[in-house]
Amino acid sequence: MEKKFIYIPAFLVLFLISSYCIAQDIHFSQYYLSPLSLNPANTGNYKGDYRLFGNYRSQWRDIDKAYNTFSAGGDANFYPMNQQVSGGLIFLNDRSGGNLVVNKIFPSVAVHKKIAGVQLHGGLQPGFVIKTIDFYAHSFPEQLNWNTGKFDNTLPNTETNVNQRYSYFDLNAGFAANKRFGKWEPEIGLAFFHLNQPRETFLQNTNRLNIRQIYNAGLTYYLHPVFNVKAYTMCGYTTKASDWVSGINGEYILSQNTFFTNSVFAGMMWRDGLKRNSDAAIATAGLNYNNYTIGFSYDITLSQLNTAVDRKGAFEIALIYKAKNTRLSKKAIPCERY
Task: Give dist(CA 120, CA 42) in Å, integer.
Answer: 10
Examine residue 338 and state whether it is found in any structural domain, yes or no.
Answer: no
Q: What is the average pLDDT across 63-68?
A: 70
Q: What is the average pLDDT across 36-46?
A: 96
Q: Is pLDDT at 13 greater than 50 in this prediction?
A: no
Query: Which of 74-88, 123-137, 279-293 is predicted with the least confidence, judged by mean pLDDT?
Result: 123-137
Residue 145: predicted pLDDT: 75
Examine residue 243 and state whether it is found in any structural domain, yes or no.
Answer: yes
Query: Which of 14-18, 63-67, 200-204, 319-323 is predicted with the least confidence, judged by mean pLDDT?
Result: 14-18
* Helix, strand and coil in the chain, % to nearest 5: 10, 55, 35
User: Please, are residues 77 and 34 in contact by the beta-carbon 8 Å criterion?
Assistant: no
Examine residue 302 and state whether it is found in any structural domain, yes or no.
Answer: yes
Task: Give dist(CA 190, CA 235) in Å, integer.
Answer: 10
Examine residue 185 and state whether it is found in any structural domain, yes or no.
Answer: yes
Nearest to 236 by CA among 37, 21, 12: 21
Examine residue 332 and state whether it is found in any structural domain, yes or no.
Answer: no
Domain total in the chain: 1
Q: What is the average pLDDT across 189-207?
A: 88
Concatenated DSSP letters of 76-125:
EEE-GGG--EEEEEEEEEEEETTTEEEEEEEEEEEEEEEETTEEEEEEEE
In this prediction the pTM is 0.82
Examine residue 14 and state whether it is found in any structural domain, yes or no.
Answer: yes
**Pairwise pLDDT comparison (319 vs 161), residue with the higher score:** 319
Q: What are the distances in angstroms from CA 34 to CA 51, 52, 317?
A: 12, 11, 11
Q: What is the average pLDDT across 264-286?
A: 84
Concatenated DSSP letters of 20-56:
G----SS--SSGGG-HHHH-GGGTT-SSSSEEEEEEE
Q: Is pLDDT at 248 greater than 80 in this prediction?
A: yes
Examine residue 334 and state whether it is found in any structural domain, yes or no.
Answer: no
Residue 59: predicted pLDDT: 80
Nearest to 235 by CA among 21, 1, 12: 21
**Which of 14-18, 42-46, 199-203, 325-329 holds the top average pLDDT?**
42-46
Q: Which domain holds residue 66?
A: 7-322
CATH of the domain at 60: 2.40.160.40
Task: Give dist(CA 56, CA 317) in Å, integer.
Answer: 5
pLDDT category, 184, cuts 50, 70, 90? very high
Query: Which of 65-69, 259-263, 275-279 is predicted with the least confidence, judged by mean pLDDT?
Result: 275-279
Alpha-carbon Rg for the chain, nearest whole angstrom, is 23
Task: Give dist(CA 290, CA 297) in Å, integer.
Answer: 21
Q: Is pLDDT at 52 greater than 90 in this prediction?
A: yes
Examine residue 248 and state whether it is found in any structural domain, yes or no.
Answer: yes
